[in-house]
């Protein structure tokens, strides 16, 4: 990790993770600077945008270098390879210099216009975590929605602060919420879960996601399954509890079955025609055991990677371009700049 400066309370950092987003980037930057420039002027606070290039292979870094800072301070953080979205989000959070942090996808699906609403919910209504949710999911395949539903049922099982089911990564954290998020030490990160877990005043904003401006989603079925397992095992021990309950259930069934056999043999004097039931029983128990060893293994893997305590990402390049009008930034900002 880098020696990112301590964030100052006043101001807003917009973090945008980018993986192969070269095609839509200039357009996105234009939209961000328009809206965020307006926010900066109206709210009289420092605003920066932090682009994190997560090891893109399509020239995203080159496009980034051509962008003009415009009204916002602009940071370019290039990671040493592709580390995944969670790592890119953390890199952005680590580099954000201002207290409040807004996270937004770089593929155009998170409409920059909504930033004004998010900022208003934070500054005018005093919310700490302003998260967005897709207004309607009806068009998504039934199987996917059901899977998502079960995923959240499991991850929220026994949680005091459940993760809202359809919340996305597009969200704004107030300075104290962002500070709380910065204190979360884990390396296996599930951003949505963490920013819900911290508590404070949370509010939901519905929005209509735009279609991707270009390319296709990087999540295929397997990476979604991977992400779900990752999210579950890094966030909750609910799957272990499922294992215990299944064990209990199987034991109970076995007991009842045992009693039935006893009764049949002793009272009715029947032979026990054992073979098929034996095989089925063995296979069921064997399968469940193997599955649960797998679940245990996931957690041991998590332990291992937390204990190794490797950095979540490496930064290959980092630049900061001040806003074109950076003279009018707040006095603390300037004082800190001079002090550096
Ligand atoms: N992303 C990233 N690293 C990755 C994959 C994705 O930084 O390894 C970024 C990507 O550029 C985009 C955001 O994460 O800004 C969301 O990715 P995507 O649109 O593929 O996911 P979806 O919108 O389907 O959840
Ligand atoms: Mg997307």
Using a 6 Å cutoff on CB, does residue 73 contact ligand 1?
no
What pLDDT is recorded for position 339? 46
Q: What is the pLDDT along the chain (340 residues), one digit of tens a residue?
A: 444 555 656 899 999 999 999 998 999 999 999 999 999 988 889 999 999 999 999 899 999 999 888 899 999 999 999 998 999 999 999 999 999 999 999 988 889 999 999 999 999 999 999 999 887 777 777 887 888 888 888 888 877 888 888 788 899 999 999 999 999 888 877 888 888 889 999 999 988 877 766 666 666 778 778 778 878 887 787 888 888 888 888 878 888 887 887 787 788 777 666 777 787 778 778 877 887 888 888 888 888 888 888 899 999 999 988 888 765 545 444 445 444 4
What pLDDT is recorded for position 153? 85
Using a 6 Å cutoff on CB, does residue 19 contact ligand 1?
yes
Separation of alpha carbons 311 and 331, rounded Å = 34
Ion ligand 2, residue ranges at CB < 5 A: 105, 107, 109
Greatest CA separation for the chain: 96
Using a 6 Å cutoff on CB, does residue 197 contact ligand 1?
no
Using a 6 Å cutoff on CB, does residue 213 contact ligand 1?
no
Separation of alpha carbons 66 and 295, rounded Å = 47
């Amino acid at each position: 990790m880098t020696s990112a400066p301590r964030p100052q309370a006043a101001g807003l950092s917009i973090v945008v993770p980018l993986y192969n987003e070269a095609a839509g980037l200039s357009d996105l930057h234009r939209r961000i600077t328009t809206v965020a420039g307006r926010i900066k002027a109206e709210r009289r606070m420092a605003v920066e945008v932090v682009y994190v290039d997560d090891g893109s292979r399509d020239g995203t870094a080159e496009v980034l270098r051509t962008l003009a800072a415009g009204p916002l301070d602009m940071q370019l953080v290039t990671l040493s390879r592709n580390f995944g979205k969670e790592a890119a989000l953390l890199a952005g959070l680590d580099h954000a210099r201002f207290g409040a942090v807004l996270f937004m996808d770089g593929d155009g699906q998170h409409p920059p216009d909504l930033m004004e609403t998010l900022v208003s919910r934070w500054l005018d209504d005093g919310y700490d975590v302003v998260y967005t949710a897709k207004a309607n999911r009806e068009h998504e395949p039934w199987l996917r929605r059901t899977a998502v539903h079960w995923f959240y049922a499991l991850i929220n099982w026994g949680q005091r602060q459940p993760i809202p089911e359809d919340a996305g990564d597009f969200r704004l954290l107030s300075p104290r919420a962002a500070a709380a998020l910065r204190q979360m030490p884990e390396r296996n990160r599930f951003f949505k879960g963490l920013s819900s877990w911290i508590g404070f005043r949370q509010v939901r904003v519905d929005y209509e996601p735009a279609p991707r401006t270009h390319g296709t989603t990087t999540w295929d079925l397997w990476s979604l399954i991977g992400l779900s397992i990752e999210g579950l095992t890094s966030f909750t021990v609910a799957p272990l509890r499922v294992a215990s309950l299944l064990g209990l259930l199987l034991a109970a069934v076995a007991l009842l079955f045992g009693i039935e056999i006893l009764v049949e043999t002793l009272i009715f004097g029947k032979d026990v025609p054992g073979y098929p039931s034996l095989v089925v029983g063995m296979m069921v128990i064997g399968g469940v055991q193997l599955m649960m060893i797998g679940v245990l293994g996931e957690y041991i893997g998590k332990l291992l990677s937390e204990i190794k305590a490797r950095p979540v990402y490496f930064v290959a390049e980092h630049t900061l371009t001040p806003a074109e009008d950076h003279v009018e930034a707040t006095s603390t900002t300037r004082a800190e700049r001079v002090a550096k």
